[in-house]
Structure formats: structure tokens, C-alpha cells
Amino acid sequence: WPRCPRGGGTVPCRVSSVLNRDVKQFGKQHLFDGSEETCWNSDQVWAQGQGQAAEPPRARCDTAVPTQGTSQWVTLEFPSPVKVSQLHIQFQGGFSSRLCTLEGCRTGEELVKISELYPQDSHAMQISFPRRMAGGNLGIFWEFCCPGRVEETVLEKLKITFGSSTDFFGRIVVYHLGVLGERL
């Protein structure tokens, strides 16, 4: 397993692609290194008809296959269940995502959509908080806002899909990714 540093330990991490396959300069390890000078930079999205079929990654919690497709994504696999309470993300302005889809699951289960986020096209740190939707039983959604009533999500795998890039070629650039919560 490739591992990405995270606080007091490591968390297995996968990404959809790395710009020009230059993992030393643009690899996933830069999502968590705390440096303002480094970042994860995805490659451009492959469109069908360029000799490659655009194919999304498989959606099983215990088997993720890194591929380039119609969207870029980051998957974090925690060694034990975690209760997620916040998501922090810092894009490069002009290379951000208009739509982030969060999916999560426990080991051996199918990924389940948790929420859709609509971040700003900005270099500023953006923080999302989960809230219970009106009606209480409609599930949990996350939003970039000031904290409301926080409802936490328990999972062992978190997948963030960047569905719509502000870059013409579909590239995503992330300087910081943080998942806050507690280990169970």
C-alpha cells in the first residue's frame, strides 16, 4: 500500500492520476505534507476517442483501481473506523472542482454517497461540516459553511470525486486535504 502521512500516523491513499506521472513533484503525498509550496496535481481527463476508453474506478470499498477517467478522485482508507466531522480542502484557483462528491463505507461494503459539495474556485482553505437534512431521515449532507448542528459519519473508506473541474482540461490541483474526526 502506498501511504500518505496524516497527523500521528499514516493512511493508505490513492488518487486517480498524477500530472505527467511525476509523482515526486506532484504526487499524493503532497496532499498531507503541510507545505504551501507543494500540491497534488492530477493529469488531464482522458476523453473517449483519444485511444483510451474513459472508465470510472470500481466502487467496492475493499478494491479501488486507480484509473484516469471522466473525473479525478482521492480515496483514503483508514485502518479502523473513524467518525468524520470535518473536511478541509485547499485548491489552486483555476484548477478547482465545481462539484465534489463524497462517498464512504465500512470495509467490505459498497461505497454510499454521503454528500455533494460545491466549493468555490479559490485558493482559500475551505471547510465543510456535515449537517442533518430537514426531516432527519433523509441522510446527511455536507456543505461549505459555518458550522450548524454537526452530525458525524462513521466510515473506514472515504472517496472524494472531483466531478467538474474549472480547468479546461479537467485538471485538479489540491494543496491541502484534511479529514478531521476521531478514531473509534
Each domain of the chain, given as residue ranges in start order, spans: 3-183
Contact 151, 142 (CB under 8 A): no
Q: Is the pLDDT of residue 19 over 80?
A: yes
In sequence order, the 6+-apart residues with CB closer than 8 A to the CB of 17 are: 42, 43, 66, 68, 72
Q: How confident is the model at residue 11 (pLDDT cuts 50, 70, 90)?
A: confident
Mean of per-residue pLDDT scores for the chain:
76
**pLDDT one-digit tens code per residue, 56-71:** 433 344 333 334 457 8
Enumerate the β-bridge partners of residue 89.
126, 177
Question: Between 106 and 60, whose confidence is greater?
Answer: 106
Q: Is the pLDDT of residue 38 over 90?
A: yes
| Averaged pLDDT for residues 139-151 | 41
pLDDT of residue 84: 85
pLDDT of residue 116: 84
What span, in angstroms and rounded, lies between the C-alpha atoms of 108 and 7? 26
What span, in angstroms and rounded, lies between the C-alpha atoms of 21 and 59? 23
Contact 100, 160 (CB under 8 A): yes
| Averaged pLDDT for residues 42-53 | 60
| Averaged pLDDT for residues 145-154 | 49
What's the pTM?
Answer: 0.75
Instruction: Decide: residue 152, CB within 10 A, 0-12 exposed, 13-18 middle, 19+ buried.
Output: middle
Q: How confident is the model at residue 98 (pLDDT cuts 50, 70, 90)?
A: very high
Residue closest to 101 by CA, chosen among 67, 79, 125, 70: 70
Which homologous superfamily is 3-183 in? Galactose-binding domain-like (2.60.120.260)
pLDDT of residue 12: 86
Q: Is the pLDDT of residue 125 over 80?
A: yes
Question: Between 28 and 184, whose confidence is greater?
Answer: 28
Q: Is the pLDDT of residue 55 over 50?
A: no
Q: How confident is the model at residue 35 (pLDDT cuts 50, 70, 90)?
A: very high
